[in-house]
Each structure stands twice: as C-alpha cells, then as structure tokens.
Amino acid sequence: MSGLAERAGPAVATGAAPILAVDRVSSFYGDFQALFDVSLEVAEGETLAIVGANGAGKSTLLKVIAGLVPAGGGEVRFDGASLARVAAHERVRRGISLVPEGRRVFPSLSVDENLRVGAYRARPGRWTIAAVRELFPVLADRGRRSAAVLSGGEQQALAIGRALMANPRLLLLDEVSLGLDPIVVKQLYAALPQIRAAGTTILLVEQNIDQALTAADRVSCLLEGRISLTGRPADLTREQITAAYFGV
C-alpha cells in the first residue's frame, strides 16, 4: 500500500473543469444496448483505468469518446465543448487519440510510415518521431520494416507511438495487454510515466486488473454497460474490485 499514496495523481476535486466529461451516455449496436447512462469525468493529466469483464462495454465506451461509434443517448464533452457533431477524424485535431483494440497498424506501410501517418493532424507538442523512437527503441530498430512483420508487442508499441505523434491531450488506450505476454506488457506500461509526464490525460481500458491498478490514479469498473465502482486504487480493496468486476 505504501507506494500507492504517492502515486495518486491530481485529485479530481481541485475544482478545475474536467478535460473529459461523459454525461449519461448510452450506446447501441442495432437492438443491443452496450452502455446504459454511463457518466464519468477525467481531470487533465489524470490517468483513469476502466476495468471490466469481456463484453462489459469498455471498448465501446472508448469508441464513443473517439467518435467511431455514435452515442445513442447522452453527451461527451471534451474541454467543455460537446462532441456531438464532431466526426472521429476531427476529434484527433482537437486532441483525442485512440489506440484501438487489436493495434490496427497499417500493414502495407513501414514502421516509420505508420508513425508519419500518425502525424497527419499533429498538434504542436513534444512527440516527434525522434521522441517516439526514444520512448520505444524497438521502433528505431525496425524503422524501415513493414508493420505487418512486427511481433504483437512491437505492433502495440507502434500503435501507441503512432497515436502520440498527433500530440494528443487525451490518449485512449484500448486493451493494450490483449494477447501479449506479461513481460512485454510490463515494458509497454513502463512507457506510461513518460507520457503522463508530458501532461497527457490517459484513459485506459484493461482486462488485466493488476496492471491497471499500478498505472492509474483512479479506477472505474464497468459491469454490463454500467459503472459499478469508481475510486483510487489505494482506497479500494481487492474484494470490492472483484465484486464490481464480476457483479457478485
């Protein structure tokens, strides 16, 4: 418990407006409702982890924030402004970048080209291709190689680096650890502090609770499309989290 208190990031109750406000958002895939009136707020510079079982709606929530999936009800506000009519590609310009589930690197482009495409609508900031290569040295080594031949962990590093190239204010990470072995996952998470140090707000979705708890300032749990728990890792017991995760 000792180290956790120090790592508690800026508390939400500073009075500053949250950079991201999800306000009673619902989402549907045809007849199926994935999110039910979900509300949460994230302060600038904070790292919020969203955990939950498969199918709980975590990815859907990120996709709604990124604009890939429409909000069937409710509203998402970024920096106070509603994102209601803002298309996905425009949200990048505003400072929201999503690292999608499954990496989705561009297979017919090289590593360098993937990074450069990430800079298509880059905002000014510290993330240049050199800075990203420093963050993930493997990307410097593999620069000219096709993204398709990278290993899973390397692709994940590329996907994160690619999102950083836009210099986002809000970085959305969808299931970074999915399908990767634990050592690789640890290495990827080791990069997060540097991203946080740049002032970036991070919203990360994880099935791996332990990793999420070590990385995040606050944790929210999604259960069948609803928030079942929110709090700081230091303040939550294992039993509380398990209960919220599985709904028992």
Query: Site residues (CB under 8 A) for another protein?
Result: 66-68, 87-90, 92-93, 97-98, 100, 104, 106-109, 113-114, 116-118, 120-121, 148, 162-163, 166
Query: To the nearest whole angstrom, how small is the minimum distance from the Cβ of residue 245 to another protein?
Result: 27
- Cβ closest to another protein, residue 88 vs residue 140: 88
Stretch (H or E) spanning 35: strand 32-42
**Among residues 9 and 125, whose Cβ is nearest to another protein?**
125
Closest Cα to residue 201, out of 175, 168, 174, 234?
Answer: 168
85/238 with CB nearer another protein = 85
CB of 153 to another protein, least distance (A): 18
Task: Name the minimum Å distance from CB 207 to another protein.
Answer: 21
Q: How far is the CB of 119 from another protein (least distance, A)?
A: 8
Nearer to another protein, 17 or 149 (CB): 149
Between 66 and 192, name the residue whose CB sits nearer to another protein.
66
Bridge partners (DSSP) of residue 97 are: 171
- What distance in Å separates the CA atoms of residue 228 and residue 3, rounded to the nearest whole number? 26
Nearer to another protein, 117 or 138 (CB): 117
Least CB distance to another protein at residue 24 (A):
25
Task: Using DSSP, state whether 102 is helix, strand or coil.
Answer: coil
58 neighbors 100 (Cβ within 8 angstroms): no
List the structure tokens of 5: 């208190």
Which helix or strand (DSSP H or E) is residue 61 part of? Answer: helix 58-66
- Shortest Å distance, C-beta 214 to another protein: 26
